[in-house]
Amino acid sequence: MIEKNPNFANLSAGYLFPEIAKRRRAFAAAHPEAKIISLGIGNTTEPLTPHIAKALSDYAAGLGTKEGYTGYGDDSAGEPAFREKIAKVLYKGLVEPSEVFVSDGAKCDVGRIQQMFGANVAVAVQDPSYPVYVDGSVMVGAAGHAPKTDAGYGDVVYMPCLPENNFFPDLSVVKPNSLIYFCSPNNPTGAVASKEELKKLVDFANKNDCIIIFDAAYSSYIRDESIPSTIFAVEGAKTCAIEINSFSKPIGFTGVRLGWSIVPSALKFADGTPVQQIWTRLTNTFFNGASNIAQAGGMASLDDEGIKETRELTDFYLENARIIRDALKGENFAKAGVQIFGGDNAPYVWAKFPGKGSWEVFDMILEQCNVVTTPGAGFGPAGESFIRFSSFGHREDVIEATKRLAGLKL
Ligand code: PLP
């Protein structure tokens, strides 16, 4: 038989969410009467908003007519009018329409981006971080075959982001010529980087010939006007950054699937080849463009009505986050010294339970409150002792979960 790609042997055992699902199933089997509520996953729960839903259904109906039918787009980068609208509405002209590449989601683009750099690139990731950056790097071989340690895997280096450094990493651990994954607003910590911090990151990358993969999937949750919603608001970013983004969390397109990446024309590989040229070659080979129905929905989200609906939907989840934060300020949590972060410019609340392991707290909350959360250790070693509470949930479930949390014995 054919051998499997040896890089897969280097992945850490199991993906976080299957393990959570396993523990939830085991608990449900042992306690069939329990009404389990999830504050665990980052999946959206509320219906599509009316204006955007109508744009999807109108487009889909049109596909059933001779006049309205369309097949492959002319270009895998997306409908020209949509690329233009993203550049104008979301970036206020900070990027050119030709730098916007529409995708079927940010996760898919992380996978594709890694193929541009191959197995020999050094990688730096925030610790904790969205697991796809590390696992994707390991799959393409960037981790070599070195064993996993608390500092990273081979050429994949972890940059700890903790309350002690205000969740902004010490960049001195990053090797020159690295790909740097940076996510703000952050999943899982809910931290947002200030303009000064992003400038530090951009200056570091330019000076050390690094490329930043800036994941801005939660930028629509930023309410503090001093926080940049794009890395391209920072001077110098166009020569060192790719931004990936998504319609999943702003407008509930987690199932519809739509995202985009900004690949600046000024970004170059060491030999002077424009990154855009390789990106176009790669995506034209492996990707036939985002769904035309999804793009019609995305387009509708960027007109006045769509912008209003997007704000209302993201405000809804931010209100859930506020309810969760308030619950975590309860007496039982305060007595145990629980510290609360995030949830104001991001849909995640990140709580530290001093002296306790994350899986231990996860099990306590599941057993005593029948609430599923996400253990911070699943996002990297620096997530140990933390729990991520997701604000994606129906309001009544969030309220019920927080009532139960008030009775948690820590
Ligand atoms: N980036 C981050 C930080 C995420 O948390 C997620 C999803 O949870 C994604 C990207 C994936 O987005 P998409 O649904 O566009 O693939």
Percentage of the chain beyond pLDDT 70 is 96
| Tens-digit pLDDT profile for residues 252-262 | 999 999 999 99
Q: Does pLDDT of 147 surpass 60?
A: no
Integer Cα distance of 221 and 300 in angstroms? 19
| Tens-digit pLDDT profile for residues 380-403 | 999 999 999 999 999 999 999 999
Distance set, CA 178 to CA 131, 269, 395 (Å): 18, 12, 42
Calculate how far, in angstroms, residue 252's C-alpha sits from the geometric centre of ligand 1.
Answer: 12
Q: Does pLDDT of 7 surpass 90?
A: no
Residue 311 near residue 278 (C-beta atoms within 8 A): no
Calculate how far, in angstroms, residue 106's C-alpha sits from the geometric centre of ligand 1.
Answer: 5
Percentage of the chain beyond pLDDT 90 is 89
Residues in the chain, overall count: 410
Residue 216 near residue 232 (C-beta atoms within 8 A): no
| Tens-digit pLDDT profile for residues 176-227 | 999 999 999 999 999 999 999 999 999 999 999 999 999 999 999 999 999 9
Q: Does pLDDT of 146 surpass 60?
A: no
Integer Cα distance of 317 and 315 in angstroms? 5
List the one residue out of 153, 157, 149, 158 whose CA is nearest residue 139: 153
List the one residue out of 372, 403, 350 whose CA is nearest residue 161: 350
Mean pLDDT of the chain: 95
pLDDT of residue 148: 64
Q: Does pLDDT of 13 surpass 70?
A: no
Mean pLDDT of 37-51: 95
- The count of other CB atoms within 10 Å of the CB of residue 220 is 23
Could you identify the residue written with the tokens 């390789």? 278
Calculate how far, in angstroms, residue 240's C-alpha sits from the geometric centre of ligand 1.
Answer: 22
Q: Does pLDDT of 267 surpass 60?
A: yes
| Tens-digit pLDDT profile for residues 304-340 | 999 999 999 999 999 999 999 999 999 999 999 999 9
Provide the b/e sequence for 377-406 (b: ≥16 CB within 10 Å).
Answer: bbbbbbbbbbbbbbbbbeeebbebbbebbe
Specify the pTM: 0.96
Beta strand residue intervals within 28-92, DSSP E: 37-38
Mean pLDDT of 107-126: 92
Best residue for ligand 1 mutational test, from 114, 184, 246 (most atoms within 8 Å of Cβ) = 246
| Tens-digit pLDDT profile for residues 224-245 | 999 999 999 999 999 999 999 9
Calculate how far, in angstroms, residue 272's C-alpha sits from the geometric centre of ligand 1.
Answer: 31
| Tens-digit pLDDT profile for residues 149-179 | 676 667 789 999 999 999 999 999 999 999 9
Could you identify the residue written with the tokens 């898919």? 108
Mean pLDDT of 76-96: 97
Integer Cα distance of 371 and 23 in angstroms? 12
Nearest ligand 1 atom, CA 105 = 15
| Tens-digit pLDDT profile for residues 331-365 | 999 999 999 999 999 999 999 999 999 999 999 99
pLDDT of residue 345: 98
CB-based burial label for 219 (10 Å; 0-12, 13-18, 19+):
buried
Q: Ligand 1: residues whose CB is within 6 Å?
A: 42, 105-107, 130, 183, 187, 215, 217, 246, 248, 254, 259
Could you identify the residue written with the tokens 């009532």? 403
